[in-house]
Amino acid sequence: MSHRTARLLLFALFALVVPLPFFLVQTGAVPAARILMLAGIVVALIAAEGMHGMIGIAAGLLLLQLAVYAALLFGAAHWAARGLARAWPQHLALATAALAAVALLVASSCDLYRTPFRTHSLHASLLRVFE
């Protein structure tokens, strides 16, 4: 696996799994993909109904947080992929990355996300964070 492929796969994994703090009326800790989903909903509301009231501020806050977190997660993925490539041979680096991905996915099956905009409960697992 090339450095570029490893970096993109780690970035996608981090964006889907790593809980990040966010602010929008209430605070929470959700993956970057959830922030992207919320930003898409807000932008769709702006397209449908115009930018009246607080919706523009909400869109700005979400998009700003998303841009910052995307840059940080991409940097972390770049650092991790480069570190794995330098530390071990390719087959061991691939096995280590796969083991880390499995560990992150198993950890995300617990209720470690704080999602203030869910109707069921405040905390959720990865399977329920996108409701």
pLDDT tens by residue, 17-59 = 999 998 988 888 999 999 999 999 999 999 998 888 888 899 9
Q: Coil, helix or strand for 119? A: coil
Tell whether the torsion through CA atoms of 117, 118, 119 and 122 is positive or negative. negative
In whole numbers, what is the pLDDT of the chain averaged over residues?
88
pTM of the model: 0.84
Residue 77 pLDDT class (50, 70, 90 cuts): very high
What is the spatial distance between Cα 70 and Cα 31, in angstroms, rounded to a whole number? 11
Residue 1 pLDDT class (50, 70, 90 cuts): low
Sequential DSSP letters for 20-53: EEEEESEEEEE-HHHHHHHHHHHHHHHHHH-S-T
